[in-house]
Structure 1
Amino acid sequence: MLDLRTYMSSGFIEDSLIVNDLEQQIRQVARTFDKSFDPTVNRWPYELRPSEKYPLGAKTSQTTSSMILSSIIGMREQWGKMPWRRASSGMVYFFDFPFPDGTADELKSSFTDTRIFQPVQTLITEWSANPSYITESTTFGRDDPMSLGWSLDLVRWAVHHGMVERTKVAPLLTRIVRCCVERSAKLVGAAGRKSSKDPLQQSLCETLLPRLKGRKAGDSSYLLARFSAVLSSLANDATLEINDSERATIERSTEVLLDRFETRLHDHLSFSEIVDSRFDPTELAFCLEGMLLIRPHYVGRTVFNRVMQVLRSVQDKGASWRSETPMLYRDNGDVLFTVSVEAVNAILASFALFDRRWSQHDSVGSEYMDLIKRYWSWLKARKAIVQIGNEHLEGWHSEHVNDPNLVHLWETSQVAEFLVNFRDQLKRHAARTSLKLAACSYKLPTKPEAIEVKLPDKATPKERWDAAREALEPVTCLGERYEVYRSIWTRFIEPRLRQDGDPAYSMLLYGPPGTGKTTVASSLSWSLDYPLVTVTVSDFLADGHVAIEARAKDLFRMLQAQPRMVILFDEIDQFMLDRDSEYFRDQETVFQFLTPGMLTKLADLRASKSVLFVVATNYAERIDAAIKRQGRIDQHLLLLPADKERRKKFADRLWKSGTIDVDAAAANSAFLSHSDMKSISKRAAGADAIKELSAAVAAATPDTYMLRFQKKDGSAITDNGRVPVVEYAAMVALQVDAAGGTRGALGWENDIRSKAIDRFPSKLPPKVDEALTNFITSTR
């Protein structure tokens, strides 16, 4: 049976090497696109052949440039940041696995937004020029479904990145929408004309692909799948002006397409069982993608498995899947087929659509990843290298030709899509496999129970965090510096919502027990829509004390492999103790050996920028100072019990109106948690509840901190870095707050100082006294 140690030392390494290979190839493809761009016409040529210099003025097309631009934006990882679903691909992008800094920087420097916009602007001008059509292709005619998808995506990309004002391209967007609606209406009409002598698929493809002189539309499902992606994107984009009648037309056409895909898919599953020349494995790939684009929950696991099993049986005879169904043909026998990489991109899209974003168990992507790995081995061997001057440019040409001195840039753009998509799915497979084997607690983004407000399903991160802050911010009486939820918004959430944001990735969340550290992590998970993984001491000890270092190494490698998520290290203090403290010296030797390694592991996790992690502890002063430094921990946040104003709100929510004096409840519940008050509210009200609140024993009070200022032998600790001065002083301030004190009022600072000092039998050590003074000053 596969375990974490075995996978991390074998399969994980293999997958990581493939990912490195893919990233290297992505850089090479980007270089080819960089060097082959023709600035004289703001386009790319169809193909590259060996020559002394770049062929400026070579034959170009809207289609080739649109394909390349779309793939470049994919390599720049920008599709996942768009607020709408992509129209030119069925792939679902989440931007969960950013490229390493070196790759990302290289791609950004080669293709800045401004440089990408230059050819996009040229295309927008051409698409806007003729009132009778939008796109034009010498191969596919005018306004074919693929070109409509690219045009819709590229125009919206330019608007989203501020390269063009929406008002200037609004007429073009409206024309694209109207064209799609008109095609949708014709699809519905074509479906109504079907008969036993007129196969449905033929009439639908002819509807989407106007005939050219001497050329006819075939019945490839690829054309219909691409149009399904366009319709899905239209339905997903609330910024487009589409009226109710048009939406109804789009909906009817998707039903027609769904019926076509389902019928065609089952036909080819049947054909695969017999020796029938009509069987085409790529039709299975395109039909499956089309069905999932239209209705993601419509395809059951049984059907999905059957399709993949048939594709695997075909791959047993050859690594790729070749099309048998033409897109276009001429009466003289000239035929145009899809290429295999388009079918494989459809398979990868189906993985993403079926598994959705956070699938961990029973994933089709993981189960059938071997098909894509084998295809990549075949595809990589077909790479062509063309020398132009002193440059060696890498790319691919159509598998229907065999010319080692030829690179088709349109084919290379589809391979680029594959490289990005395969990398995403392979990293997702490695992440889910390692996390499943690690058996750490894993929770999907869920609204914490303490947040009672109802928000729409598509609420923004800001709306969610505002709701969390309104319900949960524990302390406002000490000033903004001690408002934890405010600080988290500023450093961790808001920067992630900006393209140029520089977010923090790690925090030390400390404070007395019962203050809601887990709830903070859950709120972060819910607001950002990231899963929450909790790592505890037991996760490190799962393989026993002897194997704890190997287990820790595997756990951190697993965590670095994860997509964007929140990781909560919950009270793992014993692995991070101050190496000069008596707590470190008194613990088991095996834990002492682990602490130095935690420095590197946390630094590497922080440097990976792959996850956001929270180190939660009740005893921050006992953690090694090196672990708490910048480079490992970005921000230290003190989470305190609720102040009087917050407890007043708790009481107002927990007791029915008029059943308790909320002011008295707040005054008599100092240091109690929300759960403490909730428990009392279930059994008492009025004066009885006030008595219970006053008598309840809090998990922490200023008095409970006094032992933390002493060594185990009772002597005082004089180093303020190893005693919880700020935390203790803040608890005293909350005591003053409960007694009616107000920050900034006369006596506020003196009350805190006197109450803090009174508990000490002798004069405070100078460093401790200085820290107390600094805290009091910070509340001004």
Structure 2
Amino acid sequence: MLDLRTYMSSGFIEDSLIVDDLEQQIRAAARTFDKSFDATEKRWPYELRPSEKYPPGAKRSQTTSSMILSSIIGMREQWGKMPWRRASSGIVYFFDFPFPDGTADELKTSFTDARVFQTVETLIKAWSANASHITDSTTFGRDDPMSLGWSLDLVRWAVHHGMVKRTDVDPLLARIVRCCVERAAKLVGAAGRKNAKDPLQQSLCDTLLPRLKGRKAGDSSYLLARFSAVLSSLADDATLASLLNASDRATIERSTEVLLDRFETRLHDHLSFAEIVDSRFDPTELAFCLEGMLLIRPHYVGRTVFNRVMQVLRSVQDKGASWRAETPMLYRDNGDVLFTVSVEAVNAMLASFALFDRRWSQHDSVGSEYMDLIKRYWRWLKARKAIVQIGSDHLEGWHSEHVNDPNLVHLWETSQVAEFLVNFRDQLKRHAARTSLKLAACSYRLPTKPEAIEVKLPANATPKERWDTAREALEPVTCLGERYEVYRSIGTRFIEPRLQQDGDPAYSMLLYGPPGTGKTTVASSLSWALDYPLVTVTVSDFLADGQVAIEARAKDLFRMLQAQPRMVILFDEIDQFMLDRDSEYFRDQETVFQFLTPGMLTKLADLRASKSVLFVVATNYAERIDAAIKRQGRIDQHLLLLPADKERRRKFAVRLWKSGTIDVDAAAANSAFLSHGDLKSISKRAAGADAIKELAAAVPAATPDTYMVRFQKKDGSPIADDGRVPVVEYAAMVALEVDAAGKTKGSAAWEGDIKDRAIDRFEKKPPPTRIEEALTNFIQSTR
């Protein structure tokens, strides 16, 4: 049985090496596009052959330029901070696995915003110039579904980056959307013409391509799948959807039903053909139909059907590494036939993995189960790479598999391979992440709204809107000033920068304070607001393989965490692995744990430097953690999470008890240091005066008195070093006690009461030598 140790030392390394190889190939493809770009004409040639100089982009091919630009943007972009659906592919791109800085910098240096935009601008002008059509392809004619998808993506990219004003391209976007709706209406009309002379399957393909002399549309599902991606993007993108009226939306809905019926029928036909020797079975049709069905109805395809399709495709691959198309996209009267290439079918398979698994699939992932098919295909595809020398440059790329010329690079084919490289890398990293996380057996939870947040938000609420809601419901303390408003600080450092194009977000925090203050709730609120899963790592996760193997286990756990996509990691009460090496707590623990602490310094630093996850180190005893672990570079921010103040407890009472069943002011005054959970428990069994009595009698998890032992060693003697005692935390707890007594912050009585109560508790034991100075500084920080 596979375990974490075995996978991390074998399969994980193999997958990581493939990822490195893919990134190298992506850089090589980018270099080919960079060198072959005609800066004067702002386009690329159709093909490259050995030469002393680069060929001019003689043929003005909108299709070639659009394909390559879409590929370049897919390679270099993270699409801001939010998910983005590309109309040309149909996949929702989350970019949970950004390229390493070196690769990203190289891509953006080769293709700067200005350079890409100049080329996009050239296309936008061409698309806007003709009243009768938008795109024009020598091969496919005007306004084919692939070119419509590329045009939507490239125009939206220019708007997204502020390269053009939305108002300037609104007329073009409206025309593209109108063209798509007209195509959808023709599909609906074609579906009604069911007769022997005009079979449904053929008529659907004909409606998407204009009839040209001497050329007819084939019966390939590829064009229909590409149009399904366009229609999905129209429905999902708020900007594009705003250009649709009720009649348009109804037309699109009916056309997707027509397409769904066509895909389902054709898929089952080819599953049947696969059982018949020498039939007209086409494996690529299975790939395109499966993708089309998932684009239209992501939940429509069951696991049984998905498995059956993949099993058939595996049986085909057993006879040869790739999947060859048998159904033409186009054919001409002179006998010329145009087929799809295998990489287009494999891109459809990768899209199907992403659509079926969705973003956070953890168990029963089809992407993981059938990753071996894609790995084998990549070995075959890599072996077919061509290298063409032009001048002193050696450019790498691919050409159509329907020709066999080692001295030829098709730039359009290379663009589709680049799409494959990006999507394969993403799926492979997801496979490694989910496999390692599953084997680690850490607690894993999808983003879920915390129970204490009762406000209902729309499904499309932004992370900032969700976080503001969490802050309104959960911010525990406002009576001590902004410095102690934890939810406000997290919003400023962790939430808002992640939503900004050039934001510099924090990635780690030390969340400390007395027990029962809601540290786990903070982490789950972060998970919900950012739409990141929550993984909790505890002491038992480090000890799963026994104490002897704890260092190896820790190494594997941190490698696993670095492999995860955007995620919130909660290190819950793992203090004993990070104890201050000069403290008696460190000296008194077992030697195996002492060896672990120095290693944690590097592991946390590497996790923070990877910028792969956001992690929270939660503890009740911040003063016991080694100072080196708490430094910048490992922990970005230290946040003190306190029990709820009087005003927050009053709000808890209003929410937990029915109106009129309790004196909420009395409830707030008599519940100092009690948690929301404490109040909720009492509210279920008592009301009125009885509830007030229970609140007053309840024993909090922590009070200022419980801090007395933290100012002394285990033998009862005082701790001489003031830096190793929780003076500020203690002062804040005393301040909350004064707040519960009704004192107003800022008044002389409030400040004097804090100092008196804090010092008086040390009557039997001498207080820390600088406690009065610390109390004064604390009070000043609350003003």
Whether the 8 Å contact between 1:719 and 1:768 is mirrored in structure 2 is no
In 1, Cα distance between equivalents of 2:203 and 2:519: 61
Per the TM alignment, residue 78 of structure 1 is displaced from its structure 2 partner at its CA by 3.1
Per the TM alignment, residue 81 of structure 1 is displaced from its structure 2 partner at its CA by 4.9
Residue 399 (structure 2) aligns with? 397
After superposition, the Cα gap between the structure-2 partners of 1:271 and 1:81, relative to the gap in structure 1 and judged at 3 Å, is: farther
Per the TM alignment, residue 765 of structure 1 is displaced from its structure 2 partner at its CA by 6.6
State the secondary structure of the residue aligned to 2:276: coil
In 2, Cα distance between equivalents of 1:389 and 1:640: 68
State the secondary structure of the residue aligned to 1:691: helix
Which segment is superposed worse, 742-751 or 25-34?
Answer: 742-751
Whether the 8 Å contact between 1:145 and 1:223 is mirrored in structure 2 is yes
Whether the 8 Å contact between 2:97 and 2:429 is mirrored in structure 1 is yes
In 2, Cα distance between equivalents of 1:166 and 1:753: 59
Which segment is superposed worse, 185-194 or 615-624?
Answer: 185-194
Per the TM alignment, residue 667 of structure 1 is displaced from its structure 2 partner at its CA by 1.0
Deviation per CA, 1:695-739: give whole Å up to 9, x if none. 111110001001000011111112222111110010011111111
State the secondary structure of the residue aligned to 2:93: coil
Per the TM alignment, residue 480 of structure 1 is displaced from its structure 2 partner at its CA by 0.5
State the secondary structure of the residue aligned to 2:68: helix
Per the TM alignment, residue 323 of structure 1 is displaced from its structure 2 partner at its CA by 0.6
Whether the 8 Å contact between 2:713 and 2:719 is mirrored in structure 1 is yes
Per the TM alignment, residue 238 of structure 1 is displaced from its structure 2 partner at its CA by 2.2
Deviation per CA, 1:578-622: give whole Å up to 9, x if none. 011000111111111111111111111111100000000000000
Which segment is superposed worse, 423-432 or 391-400?
Answer: 391-400
Whether the 8 Å contact between 2:78 and 2:98 is mirrored in structure 1 is no
Whether the 8 Å contact between 1:91 and 1:348 is mirrored in structure 2 is no
Per the TM alignment, residue 55 of structure 1 is displaced from its structure 2 partner at its CA by 2.2
Deviation per CA, 1:164-208: give whole Å up to 9, x if none. 111111111111111111111111111111224533221111110
State the secondary structure of the residue aligned to 1:393: strand
* 2:130 is aligned with 1:127: no
**Identical-pair percentage:** 91
In 2, Cα distance between equivalents of 1:77 and 1:554: 31
TM-score in terms of structure 1 length: 0.98
Per the TM alignment, residue 683 of structure 1 is displaced from its structure 2 partner at its CA by 1.7
Per the TM alignment, residue 543 of structure 1 is displaced from its structure 2 partner at its CA by 0.8
Whether the 8 Å contact between 2:712 and 2:718 is mirrored in structure 1 is yes
Deviation per CA, 1:349-399: give whole Å up to 9, x if none. 000000001111111000000000000000111111111222111111111
Per the TM alignment, residue 211 of structure 1 is displaced from its structure 2 partner at its CA by 2.2
State the secondary structure of the residue aligned to 2:638: strand
In 1, Cα distance between equivalents of 2:374 and 2:90: 17
Whether the 8 Å contact between 2:82 and 2:499 is mirrored in structure 1 is no
Residue 34 (structure 2) aligns with? 34
Whether the 8 Å contact between 2:8 and 2:556 is mirrored in structure 1 is yes
Whether the 8 Å contact between 2:15 and 2:428 is mirrored in structure 1 is yes
Per the TM alignment, residue 77 of structure 1 is displaced from its structure 2 partner at its CA by 3.1
Per the TM alignment, residue 277 of structure 1 is displaced from its structure 2 partner at its CA by 4.0
TM-score in terms of structure 2 length: 0.98
Per the TM alignment, residue 745 of structure 1 is displaced from its structure 2 partner at its CA by 2.0
In 2, Cα distance between equivalents of 1:553 and 1:468: 34
Whether the 8 Å contact between 1:709 and 1:723 is mirrored in structure 2 is yes
Whether the 8 Å contact between 1:40 and 1:56 is mirrored in structure 2 is no
Deviation per CA, 1:38-89: give whole Å up to 9, x if none. 1111111111122222223433411111111111111113347566521100
In 1, Cα distance between equivalents of 2:448 and 2:423: 28
In 2, Cα distance between equivalents of 1:635 and 1:57: 53
Whether the 8 Å contact between 1:568 and 1:616 is mirrored in structure 2 is yes
Per the TM alignment, residue 525 of structure 1 is displaced from its structure 2 partner at its CA by 0.3
* 2:597 is aligned with 1:601: no
Whether the 8 Å contact between 1:219 and 1:325 is mirrored in structure 2 is yes
Residue 223 (structure 2) aligns with? 223
Whether the 8 Å contact between 2:759 and 2:767 is mirrored in structure 1 is no
In 1, Cα distance between equivalents of 2:305 and 2:157: 35
In 2, Cα distance between equivalents of 1:20 and 1:122: 35
Residue 276 (structure 1) aligns with? 278
Whether the 8 Å contact between 1:757 and 1:764 is mirrored in structure 2 is no
Which segment is superposed worse, 281-290 or 648-657?
Answer: 648-657
In 2, Cα distance between equivalents of 1:83 and 1:26: 22
Per the TM alignment, residue 332 of structure 1 is displaced from its structure 2 partner at its CA by 1.9
State the secondary structure of the residue aligned to 1:298: coil
Which segment is superposed worse, 521-530 or 764-773?
Answer: 764-773
After superposition, the Cα gap between the structure-2 partners of 1:571 and 1:589, relative to the gap in structure 1 and judged at 3 Å, is: same
In 2, Cα distance between equivalents of 1:79 and 1:330: 40
Whether the 8 Å contact between 2:46 and 2:57 is mirrored in structure 1 is no
Consecutive unaligned residues of structure 2, counting only runs of 5 or more, are: none
In 2, Cα distance between equivalents of 1:709 and 1:320: 70
Please point out which of 747, 750, 770 is paired with 1:748.
750
In 2, Cα distance between equivalents of 1:211 and 1:476: 70
Per the TM alignment, residue 763 of structure 1 is displaced from its structure 2 partner at its CA by 9.1
In 2, Cα distance between equivalents of 1:526 and 1:699: 27
Alignment of 1:443-454 (within 5 A): 443-454=445-456
Whether the 8 Å contact between 1:40 and 1:57 is mirrored in structure 2 is no
In 2, Cα distance between equivalents of 1:152 and 1:557: 39
State the secondary structure of the residue aligned to 1:80: coil
Per the TM alignment, residue 762 of structure 1 is displaced from its structure 2 partner at its CA by 7.6
How many residues align? The count is 780
Residue 188 (structure 2) aligns with? 188
Deviation per CA, 1:490-516: give whole Å up to 9, x if none. 000100011101100000000000000
Per the TM alignment, residue 770 of structure 1 is displaced from its structure 2 partner at its CA by 3.4
In 2, Cα distance between equivalents of 1:727 and 1:705: 9
Deviation per CA, 1:503-535: give whole Å up to 9, x if none. 000000000000000000000000000000000
Residue 499 (structure 1) aligns with? 501
Residue 556 (structure 2) aligns with? 554
In 2, Cα distance between equivalents of 1:113 and 1:450: 44
After superposition, the Cα gap between the structure-2 partners of 1:81 and 1:228, relative to the gap in structure 1 and judged at 3 Å, is: farther
Per the TM alignment, residue 776 of structure 1 is displaced from its structure 2 partner at its CA by 1.7
In 2, Cα distance between equivalents of 1:698 and 1:751: 21
In 1, Cα distance between equivalents of 2:419 and 2:637: 38
After superposition, the Cα gap between the structure-2 partners of 1:12 and 1:612, relative to the gap in structure 1 and judged at 3 Å, is: same
Whether the 8 Å contact between 2:91 and 2:351 is mirrored in structure 1 is yes
Whether the 8 Å contact between 2:222 and 2:288 is mirrored in structure 1 is yes
Whether the 8 Å contact between 2:71 and 2:416 is mirrored in structure 1 is yes
Cα RMSD over matched residues?
1.3
Whether the 8 Å contact between 1:447 and 1:526 is mirrored in structure 2 is yes
Deviation per CA, 1:614-656: give whole Å up to 9, x if none. 0000000000001100111000000000001101101111111
Whether the 8 Å contact between 1:92 and 1:349 is mirrored in structure 2 is no
Whether the 8 Å contact between 1:82 and 1:160 is mirrored in structure 2 is no
Please point out which of 421, 424, 431 is paired with 2:423.
421
* 2:167 is aligned with 1:164: no
In 2, Cα distance between equivalents of 1:146 and 1:540: 51
State the secondary structure of the residue aligned to 2:373: helix
State the secondary structure of the residue aligned to 1:79: coil
Which segment is superposed worse, 568-577 or 385-394?
Answer: 385-394
State the secondary structure of the residue aligned to 1:239: helix
Per the TM alignment, residue 212 of structure 1 is displaced from its structure 2 partner at its CA by 2.2
Whether the 8 Å contact between 2:755 and 2:772 is mirrored in structure 1 is no
Which segment is superposed worse, 214-223 or 125-134?
Answer: 214-223
Consecutive unaligned residues of structure 1, counting only runs of 5 or more, are: none
Alignment of 1:657-672 (within 5 A): 657-672=659-674
Whether the 8 Å contact between 2:478 and 2:485 is mirrored in structure 1 is yes
After superposition, the Cα gap between the structure-2 partners of 1:665 and 1:423, relative to the gap in structure 1 and judged at 3 Å, is: same
Please point out which of 529, 535, 538 is paired with 1:536.
538
